[in-house]
A and B are shown apart, each in its own frame.
Chain A
Amino acid sequence: EIVLTQSPGTLSLSPGERATLSCRASQIISSNYLAWYQQKPGQAPRLLIYDTSSRATGIPDRFSGSGSGTDFTLTITRLEPEDFAVYYCQQSGSTPRTFGQGTKVEIK
């Protein structure tokens, strides 16, 4: 099983600042099948990024993904008020398709 470790656990930032979220895998993720999701309280997760760097439909270009192998990054260039949420990475290179434990982006 591939273990995904997200860091930091919590990121305290102000609107307009840049957010950099890390996701590190215990093994190489096949075909860079790494996705990022955003979840707000009481809501289902929303797909932001798939295949490491492709933005899902309707996702603003302030969200970007990068990385390869075992190290992946989600960057939010300028935080908007609606971006404060919990973010999860997920790998689909092997089964079980594991999630990271999440990074909470909170208002400073």
Chain B
Amino acid sequence: EVQLVESGGGLVQPGGSLRLSCAASGFSFSDHWMTWVRQAPGKGLEWVANIRRDGGEKYYVDSVKGRFTISRDNSKNSLFLQMDSLRAEDTATYYCASGTYSHGYWGQGTLVTVSS
């Protein structure tokens, strides 16, 4: 069974940092591009970043460029999102998802709240 399990969310002050993790199992993690998608409370989905199978290519939405860093450890079947200089508008549930052009598997999400 494919599983994606996010962790690392929580309450952080504006300007602070958090590191999200996504543990993958049940599929060949290293064969798949991986993506982070977020959803602010009561809002729609927003694509955040993705990373190539070997980690050699990374792409970001403009609003997080220079503040967020996506990475992966294929030896541990894990995906990460380092989030620095957090803002109130980064408050959202963050999902990891697998797939290159569409996302067939999603985690249940981890909530990040940026507030003083």
Contacts and interface: CB of A to CB of B under 8 A. Distances in A.
A44 B109 CA distance: 7
Contacts, number: 61
Given A44-B107, A102-B44, A96 B59 contact: yes
Interface in A24-48: 33, 35, 37, 39, 43-47
B103 to A, nearest CB: 6
Interface string A92-107: 1001111111100000
B102 A51 contact: yes
Contacts of A47: 99, 102-104
A98 B102 CA distance: 12
Interface residues of A, number: 25
A35 B106 contact: no
B45 interface: yes
Contacts of B99: 47
A23 B98 CA distance: 23
Chain B residues touching A, range: 20 to 34
Contacts of A84: none
B106 A44 contact: yes
B108 interface: yes
A99 B95 contact: no
Interface in A1-60: 1, 33, 35, 37, 39, 43-47, 50-51, 56-57
Contact of A92 (B37, B60, B61, B100): B100
Contact of A56 (B35, B95, B104): B104
Nearest to B101: A92
Given A44-B95, A44-B109, A97 B47 contact: yes
B47 A96 contact: yes
8 contacts: A44-B95, A44-B109, A45-B103, A47-B104, A50-B104, A90-B45, A97-B50, A99-B37
Interface of A: 1, 33, 35, 37, 39, 43-47, 50-51, 56-57, 88, 90, 92, 95-102
| Closest 6 pairs between A and B when the two form their complex, measured CB to CB | A50-B102, A44-B106, A35-B102, A92-B101, A99-B45, A95-B59
Given A45-B37, A45-B95, 5 more contacts: A44-B108, A47-B104, A92-B102, A96-B61, A99-B44
